[in-house]
């Protein structure tokens, strides 16, 4: 089955996804009968492109800057133009892959991209935290209404299948809460400090490795973790919140001193994201917490992440990622793409749609 894709955002993640799509082309065709073509690409500063016959997205990913897209006079003016052209294509399966930069104040432009795509009957897969953190209820209802998918596995812990795990393998289980270390940059800084490195030196290394957000204050001040916490709470616990509602405290130079003092006592300081169901709804927080060495989260070093789900039937379930990155995030998009294809086949065969999380 042919699937036509528009890549909205073509930075680190979008380019890695374009390459992974090519690397897994035979696999997608053989195991999932998916013949994927990229027919549109949109960026903020380097133009847009749409070619109904298909684009060599790997060649575009290999090129740099304003020449990357080789745009022509007929190119759409902006990302919404690319989405409209995709929606008008004759493919049986139209998928918007959204990987734009996150504006933490409002979750844009991703929310508008996702809304426009769903309204025009396109499926959406995204690695952006914004849509699930700010507008999950509205967008998931819109997707259900239009009979399309809205999937965002890459938004939290790169390729670790958190949302898929709960949706696909934990039927009739209530998620009562969670706690985790879900920001790689701050965990790297805290564990580097324990090894004697300076706060600024550890942060500079994360920026050089492309792991820190473009604006590193988003990591250090806890905003990235707060956005992921809101997304997890909205999807897994049916909260209705935004990152601004998370009780948030980041890490700073004083946290570095606390981390050293804790180490002297045989403990560890980690930036812990947590959520708990309360009588009034869902209480969430992101803050540095001193943990005993025996705590699973205390043992996470460097860019390792972990999430512990508290459930009513199964007790605690922990997921750990020792080292995430662009490939894992691109894989999350690819796995969501396969889910879209599977659901489409089920719908064609007349099976009832799955209405779970």
Binding site for ligand NAP (CB under 6 A): 8-14, 42-46, 79, 99-102, 109, 127-129, 154, 158, 214, 325-326, 329
**Closest by Cα among 16, 115, 109 to 57:** 16
Min separation Cβ 120 and ligand NAP, Å: 16
Q: How far is the CB of 196 from ligand NAP (least distance, A)?
A: 27
DSSP summary character for residue 129:
S
Whether the CA torsion 256, 262, 268, 273 is positive or negative: it is negative
Active site residue 228: yes
Structural Rg of the chain based on CA atoms = 21
Sign of CA dihedral 38, 42, 47, 51: positive
Extended strands (E) in 134-190: 150-151, 175-181
Least distance to ligand NAP, CB of residue 303, Å: 10
> Minimum distance between the CB of residue 33 and ligand NAP, rounded to whole angstroms?
28
Q: Read out DSSP for 35-90?
A: EEEEEEEE-SSS-EEE-TT---HHHHHHS-GGGTT---TTS-SSHHHHHHHHHTS-
Tokens standing for 238? 């049916």
**Residue 261 or residue 323: which is nearer to ligand NAP going by CB?**
323
- Nearest residue to ligand NAP, using CB? 11
Catalytic residue among 94, 228, 263, 276: 228
Alpha carbon distance 109, 130 (integer Å): 9
Which residue lies nearer to ligand NAP by CB, 229 or 329?
329
C-beta of 326: minimal distance to ligand NAP in Å?
Answer: 5
Question: Cβ contacts of residue 181 below 8 Å, gap of 6+?
Answer: 187, 270, 271, 272, 273, 297, 300, 304, 305, 306
Catalytic residues: 228
């Amino acid at each position: 089955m042919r699937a036509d894709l528009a890549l909205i955002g073509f930075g680190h993640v979008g380019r890695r996804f374009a390459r992974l799509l090519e690397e897994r082309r035979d696999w997608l065709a053989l195991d999932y009968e998916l013949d994927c073509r990229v027919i549109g690409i949109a960026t903020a500063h380097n133009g847009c492109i749409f070619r109904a016959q298909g684009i060599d997205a790997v060649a575009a990913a290999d090129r740099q800057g304003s020449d990357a897209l080789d745009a022509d006079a007929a190119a759409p003016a902006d990302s919404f133009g690319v989405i409209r052209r995709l929606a008008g294509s004759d493919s049986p399966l139209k998928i918007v892959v959204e990987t734009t930069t996150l504006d933490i104040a409002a979750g844009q432009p991703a929310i508008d991209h996702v809304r426009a795509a769903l309204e025009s009957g396109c499926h959406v897969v995204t690695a952006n935290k914004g849509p699930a953190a700010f507008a999950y209820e509205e967008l998931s209802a819109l997707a259900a209404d239009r009979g399309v998918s809205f999937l965002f596995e890459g938004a939290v812990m790169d390729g670790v299948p958190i949302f898929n795990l709960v949706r696909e393998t934990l039927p009739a289980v209530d998620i009562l809460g969670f706690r985790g270390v879900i920001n790689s940059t701050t965990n790297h800084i805290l564990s580097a400090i324990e090894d004697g490195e300076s706060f600024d030196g550890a942060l500079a290394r994360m920026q050089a490795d492309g792991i820190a957000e473009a604006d590193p204050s988003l990591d250090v001040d806890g905003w990235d973790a707060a956005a992921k916490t809101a997304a997890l709470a909205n999807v897994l616990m049916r909260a209705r919140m935004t990152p601004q509602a998370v009780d948030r405290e980041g890490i700073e130079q004083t946290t570095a001193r606390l981390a050293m003092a804790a180490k002297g006592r045989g403990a560890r300081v980690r930036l812990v994201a947590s959520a708990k169901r309360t009588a009034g709804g869902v209480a969430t927080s992101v803050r540095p917490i001193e943990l005993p060495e025996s705590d699973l989260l205390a043992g996470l070093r460097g860019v390792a992440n972990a999430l512990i789900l508290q459930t009513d039937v199964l007790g605690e379930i922990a997921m750990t990622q020792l080292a995430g990155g662009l490939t894992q995030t691109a894989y999350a998009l690819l796995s969501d793409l396969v889910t879209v294809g599977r659901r489409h086949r089920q719908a064609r065969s007349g099976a009832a749609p799955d209405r779970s999380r």
